[in-house]
Every structure is written in structure tokens, then in C-alpha cells.
Structure 1
């Protein structure tokens, strides 16, 4: 819109002089313009990421950030709430294996830090196992004992509570372990138990995967191999799913064959009375056609 002209009243005959509003302009450099553009782009990207990640750290309308809650470190009471198993040292190989499995599950659920794993785990030892652990602590210091990796503690307890001869038996069982029939679930469970105790047989997880797949039946072995599983979890899931499909297909086929067999038997039963009835009619008709022989 053009600026309005402002005139003043003059004496008759005088020429009016137009007066226009003046505006002050400020020059902006290219660098300042680019900085404003960059700032706007950065703000837009931050808003997009916040929406994508479900970030509600900003209060609506104000733009002020809410304080971000930091995950609280797992405490021993938190650890106990997950109900870890106790170990006395008299439960044998199976009991020790179950203790290992349960402990690792508790670590995951309670978010137990690596620094606290051995410290918390050894608090569940009782009886002979507690005596053994206290003796080990005396040879070092509590700090050094608790600082050892969880894998090291597992090896120490395996060496202590699983005699060398027992381990050899387990390794022999592992090498010869195969699926019995179609029971992949039992095979998978036993394989994992043995793998915990025979970890020296499998330096890498891929070695476990190869041995596991090697024990599967021919009906699914090739299919599981074709999927090229990288982890034990993948291999177990593929094998279980494939075997379930095989069993369901076999059951459906058996049910279909039984249904066809029942239909065939039912049709045969329906046809037999008709045959007897027709035979009787034919016999009666034959007798009626006979005439007595008369001598002439």
C-alpha cells in the first residue's frame, strides 16, 4: 500500500508541497541471513526427532525442557526382588546349570551392572558353596574378588562342583545329542544345558549353532541350514517353527486320510443291503417263471 500524502493548507494561489512518511531500513548481511536459516533448520530437525522418538521432555506451549530422568542403578534389594536361586554346592551339575541360567536372567531383569554381578551373585551362596567362596576371598581381597568377571566365576564354580570326569561325560553326550523323533523342544533345552557346562567345546557362538543344527532330523535340517542362523536363538526359533509346521501338516494329512477312509467304509455299508435285496428279488423272479412239467 502506497504511503498517504499529507498536505497543509496554504494561502490561496500557493502550491501545496506533498509530504511523505519515511521508514528507517536496516541492512542485513548474507552471513546473518545464512545464520538465521541454519538456526531455523536446526530447530526443525530437533522438533522432528523429538516427535519421532516420542520425546516429551518439552512442555507443551512453553518450549521449556523437563528434567530427564536418569536410570537408577540396580541395588541389592532390587536384585533380590527378581528372586535369584540359592546354591549350596550339593545340587550337582544340573543344579549348578540352573543357578547359572537363573542368575543371568536376574541380571537382565534387574538391570544389574557388570560391576555388581559377582558381588550380588555370591550373596546367594549357602552351605559348602559359601564356605568355598569365603576361602577364596581370604586369598585375595573382597574388592578383587568382586571385581572378577561373571564368566570367570562360572568357570571357577564349574571346576569346583563339576568333576573332570563328569564334564567328560557331558561333552560325550553333547557330541552325540540328536533330536529324538520330532521333539525339538526337549532337544533344544538339553542342548542349552550342556552348552553351559561344555563351553570350552565352543569358542564362538557360531560353533554352537553348527553343532545344534547338526543334531536336527533330516526333515528340517536342510531348511534350517538354508536360513543361515547366526545365533542360537535364531536357530532354535527356526527349528521349532519348522517342526511345528511339519507336525501340523502330518496331522492334517492323517485326519484327511481317516476322513476319506470313513467315507469309503460308509459307502460300502450303504451298498451291501442293496446287493442282498437285488439278489433276493432275482431269486424270487426265477422261481416264479418255472412251470410244472406235464407228460403228454
Structure 2
């Protein structure tokens, strides 16, 4: 297994455990409110909005903004927080990209303008395309390899 493959596996495991922790937190919150703790039903657990989510719905989740930073892994952290927010909403991939683009501030808007301009006129970028391009630009492969080495040395 190559270092890159190990990093992909490590990141996937991290995402899965983060999701499991979110589900447990939702269940505990639902139980604390007197419900059964699951999603949906009348138990008070977390549930998605009915129908497509609006930009206002997205803003109500208090999504973080992203500005230029010296720490490349801040970009990964920002994307993970946004993906957690999406779990609360009913959004399509293209909608996620349009909403998140508004969270890029300062010089980060130049990256978005370039990314958007490189798309075909009739193509709306998907969340996967956005995150792949964003990670490639803001998180150099050398940083990922260095962090993987540091992790493996723990």
C-alpha cells in the first residue's frame, strides 16, 4: 500500500468516525429533549428540512468562511465542517457549491473565479469536483505525506 493510499484510507476512516460521533450526539440530544434520540419521528432527534434548502437555511447553520491561511490543513478542516452542515440540509451538489462559494473571502475569491471560469458554460460543478479542485490547490501533496508520516510515528 502506498503512502497516498494509506492517507486516503485514514481520511475515510476519520470521516466515518466523525459521522458516527455526529449520530451519537444527535441521539443523545434527542434523548435529553425527551425523545427516543433517532432521526425523524416525533422523538425530537435531528431531522432534515422538508423540500430543498434555501441559502437562508444554509446560513442558519452558521457555516464558517474561508480566508487565506498559513496552515494548509485548515482547508481540510473547513471542508469537513461544511460537510457536517450539509447533513442538516436538503441540498443538491450544485447547490452546495453555489452556497459554499459565498463563504470564500478575500483572495480566496480569485481561486473561485478561476475555478468557475474553467467550467463549461452549461456545466454546474458538483461538490466532488469542487472539493477535489480545492484540496489540490490548497493542500499540497507534500503536506499530506508529512502529516501521514507524523501520524504513523505516533
The alignment's TM-score, normalised by the length of structure 2, stands at: 0.59
Whether the aligned pair in 1 keeps the contact of 2:72 and 2:140 (CA below 8 Å) is no
Gaps of 5+ in 1: 1-53, 55-69, 178-296
User: Which of the two has higher C-alpha Rg?
Assistant: 1
- CA offset at residue 143 of structure 1? 5.1
Q: 1:159 aligns with which of 133, 136, 141?
A: 136
Where does residue 170 of structure 1 map in the other structure? 147
Whether the aligned pair in 2 keeps the contact of 1:82 and 1:110 (CA below 8 Å) is no
Gaps of 5+ in 2: 1-40, 42-48
- CA offset at residue 139 of structure 1? 2.4
- CA offset at residue 87 of structure 1? 0.6
* Cα separation, partners in 2 of 1:113 and 1:138, compared to 1, 3 Å: closer
Q: CA RMSD in A?
A: 2.3
State whether structure 2 residue 58 is matched by structure 1 residue 79.
Answer: yes
Q: How does 1:72-221 map to 2 (within 5 A)?
A: 72-90=51-69, 92-141=71-120, 144=123, 147-177=124-154
- CA offset at residue 142 of structure 1? 6.4
* Cα separation, partners in 2 of 1:151 and 1:140, compared to 1, 3 Å: closer
Whether the aligned pair in 2 keeps the contact of 1:74 and 1:113 (CA below 8 Å) is no
Task: Report the Cα distance in structure 2 between the residues aligned to 1:140 and 1:152, rounded to whole angstroms.
Answer: 10
Task: Report the Cα distance in structure 2 between the residues aligned to 1:167 and 1:92, rounded to whole angstroms.
Answer: 12
Task: Report the Cα distance in structure 2 between the residues aligned to 1:81 and 1:160, rounded to whole angstroms.
Answer: 28
Paired residues in the alignment total 107
Higher helix share: 1
1:18-44 Cα shifts (integer Å, max 9, x gaps): xxxxxxxxxxxxxxxxxxxxxxxxxxx
Task: Report the Cα distance in structure 1 between the residues aligned to 2:142 and 2:79, rounded to whole angstroms.
Answer: 20
Where does residue 10 of structure 2 map in the other structure? none
Partner SS for 1:127: coil
* Cα separation, partners in 2 of 1:133 and 1:115, compared to 1, 3 Å: closer
- CA offset at residue 138 of structure 1? 1.8
The alignment's TM-score, normalised by the length of structure 1, stands at: 0.33
- CA offset at residue 106 of structure 1? 1.1
Where does residue 248 of structure 1 map in the other structure? none
Asked which structure has the greater RCO (Cα within 8 Å, sep 6+), the reply is 2
* Cα separation, partners in 2 of 1:128 and 1:143, compared to 1, 3 Å: farther
